[in-house]
Amino acid sequence: MAGWLWALMGLQIGCSDDKEESTPPLQPLIYTEYPELTPRGAVVRERRLQRQLVEGSSEGPWGRLDDGDEQLPPLHDPQALGAALTEALLTRHHALWEHAFISGDDYAELVDVGPSSAREFVDNQIGKSLPLWELFSHIHASEMPAGGLSEQFKFVELQLGSRHELDGVSTREDSGIAQYIDNQLILQIADSDVTFELAIERVFQIHATSHSDTEQPDDIESSRLTEDEFVYKIGSAIQVDSRLRTFLDAGLHLKPQLLRAQEYPFPMGVGSFWRYRRYDPEEGVDEDYDPLERRLDEESRDLAAEEVIVEVREVLRYGAIRLVELLRAYDDRRYTRVRQWWLLTPRRIYDCDPSCREHIEDKNWLLDYFQRQVPIMVFPLRRGLMWGEGGRSVDGEPPFAVHSQWREVKTSAGTFARTYRIEGNEALGRSDRYVGEAGLVRYFAPDRGVVRRRLEASEHSEEGIEIIEELVEYRLMD
Q: What is the mean pLDDT of each run of 10 residues along the chain (478 residues)?
A: 42 41 46 64 72 60 46 90 94 92 90 86 90 82 80 93 77 71 95 94 85 43 49 94 93 89 92 93 66 51 79 94 95 89 96 95 95 92 90 78 93 94 81 76 95 77 74 94
Neighbours of 410 (CB within 10 A): 12
Q: How far apart are CA 215 and CA 192, in angstroms?
A: 39
Q: How far apart are CA 23 and CA 353, in angstroms?
A: 40
Q: What is the dihedral sign for C-alpha 109, 226, 99, 191?
A: positive
* Confidence at residue 73, expressed as pLDDT on a 0 to 100 scale: 85
Phi-psi region of 236 (alpha: psi -120 to 50; beta: other; left: phi over 0): beta
- Domains in the chain with CATH codes: 1-69 (no CATH), 71-216+224-240 (no CATH), 256-289+302-475 (2.40.360)
* 3-class SS of residue 325: strand
Q: How far apart are CA 161 and CA 204, in angstroms?
A: 11
- Do the bridges between strand 337-344 and strand 178-189 make them parallel or antiparallel, or are there none, so unpaired? unpaired
Q: How far apart are CA 301 and CA 285, in angstroms?
A: 12
* Confidence at residue 420, expressed as pLDDT on a 0 to 100 scale: 96
Q: Are 249 and 391 in contact (CB under 8 A)?
A: yes
* Confidence at residue 38, expressed as pLDDT on a 0 to 100 scale: 76
* Confidence at residue 274, expressed as pLDDT on a 0 to 100 scale: 97
In this prediction the pTM is 0.79
- Do the bridges between strand 273-279 and strand 307-318 make them parallel or antiparallel, or are there none, so unpaired? antiparallel
* Confidence at residue 165, expressed as pLDDT on a 0 to 100 scale: 85
Residues 226-265 pLDDT 10s: 444 889 999 999 999 999 999 999 999 988 889 998 889 9
* 3-class SS of residue 410: strand
Which amino acid, one-letter code, is at 21?
Answer: E
* Confidence at residue 19, expressed as pLDDT on a 0 to 100 scale: 43
User: Which residues are CB-contacts of 48 (< 8 A; sequence separation ≥ 6)?
Assistant: 98
Instruction: List own/partner pairs for 349-358 with CB under 8 A and 24 or more apart.
Output: 349/266, 349/375, 349/376, 349/377, 350/375, 350/376, 350/427, 351/376, 351/427, 351/428, 351/430, 352/323, 353/430, 357/323
